């Protein structure tokens, strides 16, 4: 008799695991049932801001693979609008509620992949009866926001609460739609995903495209009129708003996992081993935004919800489930984004992370250009490096620039991944031609500057 795999959550991690398992085990060997409480499978949540802005015209462009494709091409029984409400590890079965039809189903499993993703941080004040307050975690969230924005008369004033990646990308999206946008951030600067010297460049660019930025401001509630939000109430007075978007970050979605007794780590994510097996629970796997993973530089567990990790982790779980061998080696915190034309990238540790981890280090900021200075289209680029002292091992890097900047973080990420020192990096053989780089690549210029800083610091 075939074994059964139950997948909880039909987005990137869950469906990557399911399809990798299917590649290695056919239906006579493994039945696969995937429960997804939303209406979509395998979509790009990271793409939602670009659909909201209209840069991506159609919602369905964000869907990598439809439920029908999973059914037909992978023989995976995908059940949409089914929310798993309980996992019974003793009886090895799950209970799922049919959100549309009503009623409950019970399904037994031999293996279970828990891929329930993350839930947005939602302050109490956001639970208002007033319309117009939106998260953008799921495609359903995005659809609701888009419908609100498309209404007639259209909202004119937007407040984005929180200045992380989602907040900044949503602020850009709303500006592109022609709204007047204010970003409200509790700390002293948005984009705290990079150090404050680099973040200041981002804030400046955001103001440059007309995004109002209010920092050091706490939101305490909303005002409403006729059942619709009319302002955000803050520690420094009200900010008018016809629409409010939450970008306060997310936490691992683990309520169900906790109830079932799956172990959580210090970050609140599910604890898994390198093969994505839930620690100490045979036959149960977890992947994606609900797990915690190893930061390879700090050595500490971290929670980094990002589609690329979710896909990789799901693939690793699926290969192992299918009888193959794969491990997920952890992360180094690489991330890229853009605010209109400004590109922002990071990898490894920020200064505050390096301090928190106990590293001693030097940090340098260098200015150069994306192309040879004389080549048309050359734009300024700022590269920051953080290097361990003594020794010079690269601990972190950040880039802010105007074009062709962000993806240069990859060379730095691979250098960091391999434990290179900034001294070694000065010799790297990177691509050079005038349309693509100065004869000293910005990465090499930064590495040289870090070497000099280490020398001055007595290494």
| Interface ranges with its own copies (CB under 8 A) | 12, 44, 46-47, 50, 55-56, 61-62, 64, 165, 306-309, 311-312, 327-329, 331-338, 343, 345, 347, 372, 374-376, 404, 406-411, 413-415, 417-418, 420, 424, 426-437, 439-441, 443
CB 150 within 8 A of CB 44: no
CB 349 within 8 A of CB 360: no
* CA end-to-end distance (rounded Å), the chain: 65
Q: To the nearest whole angstrom, how small is the minimum distance from the Cβ of residue 241 to its own copies? A: 26
CB 351 within 8 A of CB 413: no
CA 101 to chain CA mean position, Å: 33
d(CA 55, CA 148): 18
Q: Which is nearer to its own copies, 87 or 406 (CB)?
A: 406
Q: To the nearest whole angstrom, how small is the minimum distance from the Cβ of residue 127 to its own copies? A: 30
Q: Which is nearer to its own copies, 225 or 407 (CB)?
A: 407
Q: Which one, of 195, 127, 259, lies nearest residue 395 by Cα?
A: 195
Q: Which is nearer to its own copies, 133 or 173 (CB)?
A: 173
Q: Which is nearer to its own copies, 388 or 404 (CB)?
A: 404
- Where residue 141 falls (left for φ over 0; alpha for ψ -120 to 50; beta otherwise) is alpha
46 catalytic per annotation? yes
Q: To the nearest whole angstrom, how small is the minimum distance from the Cβ of residue 91 to its own copies? A: 36
d(CA 322, CA 350): 38
Dihedral in degrees, nearest 10, Cα atoms 206, 414, 13, 295: -90
Q: Which of 46, 105, 264, 372 is catalytic?
A: 46
Q: To the nearest whole angstrom, how small is the minimum distance from the Cβ of residue 245 to its own copies? A: 18
**Helices first, then strands: H and E counts in the chain:** 12, 25
Q: To the nearest whole angstrom, how small is the minimum distance from the Cβ of residue 374 to its own copies? A: 4
Assigned token pair, 429: 């053989």
d(CA 201, CA 175): 19
CB 224 within 8 A of CB 128: yes
356-361, Cβ contacts within 8 angstroms, sequence gap of 24 or more? 356/298, 357/297, 357/298, 357/299, 357/300, 359/388, 359/395, 360/388, 360/389, 361/386, 361/387, 361/388, 361/389, 361/395
Q: Which is nearer to its own copies, 232 or 422 (CB)?
A: 422
Q: Which is nearer to its own copies, 47 or 190 (CB)?
A: 47
Cβ neighbours, 10 Å, residue 88? 15
Q: Which is nearer to its own copies, 59 or 228 (CB)?
A: 59
Residue length of the chain: 459
Q: To the nearest whole angstrom, how small is the minimum distance from the Cβ of residue 124 to its own copies? A: 31
CB 169 within 8 A of CB 177: no
Active site residues per annotation: 46
């Amino acid at each position: 008799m075939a074994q059964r795999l139950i997948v909880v959550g039909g987005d990137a991690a869950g469906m990557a695991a399911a399809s990798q398992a299917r590649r290695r085990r056919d239906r006579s060997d493994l039945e696969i049932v995937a429960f997804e409480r939303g209406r979509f499978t395998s979509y790009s949540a990271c793409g939602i801001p670009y659909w909201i802005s209209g840069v991506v015209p159609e919602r369905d462009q964000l869907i990598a693979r439809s439920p029908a494709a999973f059914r037909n091409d992978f023989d995976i029984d995908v059940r949409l609008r089914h929310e798993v409400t309980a996992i019974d590890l003793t009886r090895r079965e799950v209970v799922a509620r049919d959100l549309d039809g009503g009623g409950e189903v019970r399904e037994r499993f031999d293996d279970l992949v828990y891929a329930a993703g993350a839930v947005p941080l939602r302050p109490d004040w956001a639970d208002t009866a007033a319309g117009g307050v939106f998260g953008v975690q799921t495609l359903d969230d995005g659809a609701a926001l888009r419908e609100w924005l498309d209404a007639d008369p259209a909202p004119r004033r937007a407040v984005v609460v929180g200045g992380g990646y989602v907040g900044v990308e949503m602020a850009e999206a709303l500006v592109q739609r022609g709204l007047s946008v204010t970003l409200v951030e509790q700390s002293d600067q948005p984009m705290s995903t990079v150090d404050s010297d680099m973040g200041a460049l981002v804030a400046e660019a955001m103001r440059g495209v007309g995004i109002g930025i209010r920092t050091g401001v706490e939101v305490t509630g909303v005002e409403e009129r006729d059942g619709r939000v009319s302002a955000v109430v803050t520690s420094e007075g009200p900010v008018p708003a016809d629409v409010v978007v939450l970008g306060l970050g997310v936490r691992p979605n683990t309520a169900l996992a906790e109830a079932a007794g799956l172990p959580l780590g210090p970050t609140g994510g599910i604890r898994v081993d390198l093969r994505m097996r839930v620690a100490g629970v045979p036959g149960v796997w977890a992947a994606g935004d609900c797990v915690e993973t190893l930061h390879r530089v700090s050595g500490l567990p971290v929670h980094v919800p990002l589609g690329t990790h979710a896909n990789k982790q799901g693939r690793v779980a699926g290969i192992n489930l299918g009888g193959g061998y794969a491990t997920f080696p952890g992360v180094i915190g690489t991330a890229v984004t853009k605010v209109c034309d400004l590109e922002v990238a990071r990898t490894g540790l920020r200064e505050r992370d390096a301090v928190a981890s106990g590293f001693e280090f030097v940090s340098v900021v260098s200015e150069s250009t994306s192309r040879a200075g004389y080549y048309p289209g050359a734009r300024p680029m700022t590269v920051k490096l953080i290097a361990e002292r003594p020794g010079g091992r690269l601990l972190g890097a950040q880039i802010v620039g105007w074009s062709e900047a962000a993806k240069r973080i990859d060379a730095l990420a691979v250098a960091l991944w391999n434990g290179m020192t900034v001294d070694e990096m000065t010799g790297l053989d990177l691509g050079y031609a005038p349309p693509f780089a100065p004869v000293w690549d910005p990465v090499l210029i930064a590495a040289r500057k870090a070497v000099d800083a280490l020398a001055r610091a007595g290494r």
